[in-house]
Amino acid sequence: MGETKAKYHHLIPRTYLSAWEHGNGTLYIRFLENKESVVERNKDKIAGITNYHSIVAGMPIVTKEDADKIFACLEDLEVHYGEVVVSDNLELNKIYYDFDNWTIQRKDGSVVSKKKLKAEIEKVKIRDIEELWSLKYEDAWGTVRSELENSIFNSADRIISNANKEYLMKFYTSLDWRSIKSNIQFNDAWEWLCKEVLRLDEIDIPEEERELPMLDNAAEEMKHNLLLKFYRQYLNDSGVIYTHAMANLSNTSFHFLVADGPETFNTSDNSVFVFRRLDGKLQGVLPLSPRILMAQGRNSEHDENFYVTHITDEAVKRYNIEIEKNAANFVVQLNN
């Protein structure tokens, strides 16, 4: 598998956001901090963070294979740490935080300057998460969405086949975890453990030692590492997110709500979320396009159909209110 060179990693996929684009990939964005103003942003340059999904030296989730790539520049050298020569790359990764106290020598015993070697080590970014995400989910999204829209708009009896249900459920579940807010149950548990019990949010990380600029305390750094581990496992059909997706697939299905009038569905940088409806029931949603919203519900009868309901402008407005309530930083809308 080839490795992507992309540095700007989208938490919300560009192929997903493209349903709201106009012109040449431009989106109408309304930031929550300035709700009265709508601005234009290119879909390539929003909803992402540089190297967010990259695995780099010193991360606790580095594997043996990762470590061998990261420390390849040391292959013909000796690393002395205290009184010990460390030759195992995973061990080097564990002590990378203390790189300043390494002594690096050639085989003849002459000491090597570490500045250039550190630059070589930190140049290595393992980006298989981005590569696998594209191969397994993002590349197919445009085609799946187009076929689904065609089925929905041409359904005379408002019943369509649940073709691509597994892909849709996996895509839906992954967006639930991949957004900047991430999965709400995970967040609640993490907040309780790290902030109320361990108080890791009180341990500040110096700016020059941060994995990413916004990971300014131990709780945020550990959360980021854990999520990357979960994403990686998911893309290899294992782990917490995969278990969540399979449970969703077994017990739930989707209902498609169609906006026929002038009001259209918005989306946001937290596109999948759960909210409480007017009837008191919880509902998970993902806006698919300005005209279609996908709602998750129980499927205790294991019905093999999807159902379509056309809704009023007032109902669309109510969904847009919930979309905005659950956004992290901004809302995407069809018109300005």
55/225 Cα distance (integer angstroms): 9
Given a cut of 90, is residue 282 above it in pLDDT? no
Q: How confident is the model at residue 4 (pLDDT cuts 50, 70, 90)?
A: low
Longest dimension (CA), the chain: 80
DSSP code per residue over 256-314: EEEE-SS----EESS-SEEEE-TTS-EEEEEE-SSSEEEEEEE-TT---EEEEEEE-HH
The percentage of residues in the chain with a pLDDT greater than 90, rounded to a whole number, is 88
Q: Which amino acid is located at 4 in the chain?
A: T
Rounded to the nearest integer, the mean pLDDT of the chain is 94
pLDDT mean over 180-188: 91
Contact 62, 96 (CB under 8 A): no
User: Can you give the pLDDT at residue 96?
Assistant: 97
Given a cut of 70, is residue 5 above it in pLDDT? no
User: Can you give the pLDDT at residue 3?
Assistant: 58
Contact 257, 291 (CB under 8 A): no
E strand or H helix at 81: strand 78-81
Given a cut of 80, is residue 315 above it in pLDDT? yes
Q: Which tens digit of pLDDT belongs to each residue from 25-66?
A: 999 999 999 988 999 999 999 999 999 999 999 999 999 999
Q: Which amino acid is located at 184 in the chain?
A: I
Q: How confident is the model at residue 1 (pLDDT cuts 50, 70, 90)?
A: very low
Q: Which residue has the tokens 């459920």?
A: 169
Tokens of 303: 């019905």
Given a cut of 70, is residue 238 above it in pLDDT? yes
DSSP 162: -
Given a cut of 90, is residue 278 above it in pLDDT? no
Given a cut of 90, is residue 70 above it in pLDDT? yes
User: Can you give the pLDDT at residue 215?
Assistant: 94
Contact 6, 20 (CB under 8 A): no
* Helices 184-191 and 218-235, axial angle in degrees (round to 10): 150
Given a cut of 60, is residue 2 above it in pLDDT? no
Given a cut of 70, is residue 192 above it in pLDDT? yes
Q: Which residue has the tokens 């197919």?
A: 140
DSSP code per residue over 187-250: HHHHHIIIIIIS-GGGSB--GGG-SSTT--BHHHHHHHHHHHHHHHHHHTT-HHHHHHHHHHHH
Burial class (CB in 10 A: 0-12, 13-18, 19+), 207: exposed
210/221 Cα distance (integer angstroms): 8
295/310 Cα distance (integer angstroms): 13
Q: Which tens digit of pLDDT belongs to each residue from 159-182?
A: 999 989 999 999 999 999 998 889
Q: Which residues contact 193 (CB under 8 A, 6 or more apart)?
A: none
Q: Which residues contact 239 (CB under 8 A, 6 or more apart)?
A: 229, 230, 232, 233
User: Can you give the pLDDT at residue 7?
Assistant: 84
User: Can you give the pLDDT at residue 275?
Assistant: 92
